[in-house]
């Protein structure tokens, strides 16, 4: 026992010395700590395990505060200490800290984002139910209650004339999980955050329903004729009504059973790695795309980088204990329709699949060129990243996103003609003309 303690002590000392050395430039010592975090099974995304990982860059305060992230409980100001009584909160704090660090590393090492490397410490709130107020930071609890969601908020401050002045930087908020019966959720859907709706999929498109949905419905029936007369569709119409069915059709037939198989809707956003990567990606692109509302382009861009960080082709798959979420697929086959531009489709995976199609096409062409000893046409991930400089939080898919990719390729692709032709092919294959 003593020997063990002694060797633990010397390990601790060694770790501290190493940290002192490695962070000599900032002058503030850091103390790495080990915690268990959630990792998905590489092959089967609904399977997972808790894996011991080192949390780096933590200050030596025995709390979840480090150089780049500070994890706090709800609206509080101090970091959650390692001695916090609620073990569930500790689990989420460690998970969020680890996956945010991983996302940050990716943005710096792989994407080489100068902006991310210069970001000040980001405050991360877990189990927060308040809504965001651009003038008060937090809305009063009785005004709004958020659950099963996550979002990024822009920096802001209270107006000049108020007595209690407050200033805040960019933050990431994770609200708690609550199991809600799907049918009920669809009927009286509320609590959507006006600032930034998350990527959650049974979110509120139903109340945003408008006549365009009918057009898209017709289109969907044409694209996926195999489902028009199935027993499943009839059952769907009886059980949840026409509007819900229309909405579930917006992405084609493959989701339709999801509405009935899952009786409950819930997601513990702080436990799902890709949701954490998605939120950090919003912060990483907030130099041009402010996280003030969510529409398909800003969400699809965040999904794209989340997929790269997670190294996954399917995203946000349900995990029995933590989430009943609908999966987003990078290879979603759905075609473009103006209906998809609406805010009600911010949670769709169309933009993700459009961007991903470009990736697979560029990689195919690059491979062929390498075989012939030729240089790559371009690094597609860099093109997508550079495109974000030409976009903002209101950009749409058909003109803004498509044009900015082409403009970036015009400057950066080797033999821009081939790169631009490839992009045009991708757009056509996804129904953009």
Binding site for Zn ion (CB under 5 A): 199, 299, 302
> Which residue, chain included where needed, has tokens 């916090």?
84
Identify the DSSP state of 341. Answer: G
Our CB check for Zn ion shows the closer of 79 and 308 to be 308
Q: How far is CA 309 from CA 39, 236, 291, 315, in A?
A: 13, 36, 20, 11
State how far the Cα of 93 lies from the Cα of 82, in Å rounded to an integer: 9
Our CB check for Zn ion shows the closer of 86 and 394 to be 394
CA 78 from chain centre, in angstroms, equals 25
Our CB check for Zn ion shows the closer of 79 and 199 to be 199
Our CB check for Zn ion shows the closer of 90 and 177 to be 177
Our CB check for Zn ion shows the closer of 278 and 359 to be 278
Query: What is the closest distance, in whole angstroms, from the C-beta atom of residue 299 to Zn ion in the complex?
Result: 5
State how far the Cα of 112 lies from the Cα of 280, in Å rounded to an integer: 15
Query: What is the closest distance, in whole angstroms, from the C-beta atom of residue 240 to Zn ion in the complex?
Result: 26
Our CB check for Zn ion shows the closer of 259 and 277 to be 277
Query: What is the closest distance, in whole angstroms, from the C-beta atom of residue 2 to Zn ion in the complex?
Result: 52
Query: What is the closest distance, in whole angstroms, from the C-beta atom of residue 279 to Zn ion in the complex?
Result: 7
Gyration radius (Cα) of the chain, Å: 23
Q: Which helix (H) or strand (E) holds 340?
A: none
Q: Are strands 137-138 and 167-168 parallel, antiparallel or unpaired?
A: unpaired
CA 181 from chain centre, in angstroms, equals 24
Query: What is the closest distance, in whole angstroms, from the C-beta atom of residue 431 to Zn ion in the complex?
Result: 24
State how far the Cα of 26 lies from the Cα of 258, in Å rounded to an integer: 50
Kindly report the CA angle at 211 between 208 and 217, in degrees rounded to 5? 95
Query: What is the closest distance, in whole angstroms, from the C-beta atom of residue 150 to Zn ion in the complex?
Result: 8
State how far the Cα of 88 lies from the Cα of 127, in Å rounded to an integer: 10
Our CB check for Zn ion shows the closer of 296 and 378 to be 296
DSSP code string of 398-411: IIIIHHHHHHHHHH
Residue of 132, 125, 128, 107 whose CA lies nearest to 64: 125
Query: What is the closest distance, in whole angstroms, from the C-beta atom of residue 376 to Zn ion in the complex?
Result: 30
Our CB check for Zn ion shows the closer of 204 and 299 to be 299
Q: How far is CA 117 from CA 21, 68, 104, 112, 284, in A?
A: 20, 10, 8, 8, 9
Query: What is the closest distance, in whole angstroms, from the C-beta atom of residue 19 to Zn ion in the complex?
Result: 34
Q: Are strands 48-55 and 33-40 parallel, antiparallel or unpaired?
A: antiparallel
């Amino acid at each position: 026992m003593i020997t063990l303690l002694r060797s633990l002590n010397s390990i601790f000392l060694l770790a501290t010395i190493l940290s002192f050395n490695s962070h000599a430039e900032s002058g503030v010592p850091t103390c790495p700590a080990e915690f268990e975090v959630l990792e998905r099974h590489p092959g089967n995304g609904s399977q997972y395990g808790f894996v011991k990982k080192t949390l780096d860059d933590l200050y030596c305060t025995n709390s979840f505060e480090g150089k780049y992230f500070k994890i706090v409980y709800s609206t509080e100001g101090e970091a959650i200490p390692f001695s916090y009584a609620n073990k569930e909160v500790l689990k989420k704090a460690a998970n969020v800290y680890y996956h945010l660090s991983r996302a940050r590393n990716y943005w710096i090492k792989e994407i080489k984002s100068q902006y991310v490397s210069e970001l000040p410490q980001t405050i991360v709130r877990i189990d927060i139910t308040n809504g965001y107020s651009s003038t008060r930071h937090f809305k009063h609890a009785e005004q709004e209650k958020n659950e099963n969601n996550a979002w990024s908020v822009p920096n802001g401050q209270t107006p000049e004339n108020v007595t209690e002045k407050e200033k805040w930087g960019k933050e990431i908020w994770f609200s708690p999980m609550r199991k809600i019966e799907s049918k009920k959720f669809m009927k009286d859907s509320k609590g959507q955050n006006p600032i930034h709706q998350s990527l959650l999929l049974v979110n509120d498109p139903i109340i945003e329903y408008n006549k365009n949905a009918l057009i898209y419905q017709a289109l969907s029936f044409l694209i996926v004729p195999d489902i028009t007369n199935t027993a499943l569709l009839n059952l769907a119409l009886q059980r949840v009504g026409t509007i819900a069915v229309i909405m579930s059709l917006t992405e084609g037939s493959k989701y339709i059973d999801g509405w009935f198989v899952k009786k409950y809707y819930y997601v513990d956003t702080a436990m799902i790695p890709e949701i954490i990567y998605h939120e950090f990606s919003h912060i990483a692109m907030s130099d041009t795309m402010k996280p003030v509302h969510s529409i398909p382009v800003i969400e699809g861009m965040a999904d794209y980088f989340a997929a790269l960080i997670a190294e996954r082709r399917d995203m946000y798959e349900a995990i029995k204990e933590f989430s009943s979420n609908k999966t987003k697929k990078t290879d979603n086959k759905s075609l473009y329709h103006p209906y998809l531009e609406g805010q009600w489709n911010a949670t769709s995976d169309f933009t993700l699949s459009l961007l991903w199609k470009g990736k697979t096409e560029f990689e195919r062409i690059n491979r062929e060129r390498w075989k012939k000893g030729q240089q790559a046409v371009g690094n597609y991930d860099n093109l997508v990243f550079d495109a974000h400089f030409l976009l903002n939080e209101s950009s749409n898919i058909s003109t803004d996103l498509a044009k900015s990719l082409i403009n970036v390729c015009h400057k950066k692709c080797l033999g821009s003609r081939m790169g631009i032709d490839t992009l045009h092919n991708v757009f056509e294959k996804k129904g953009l003309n």
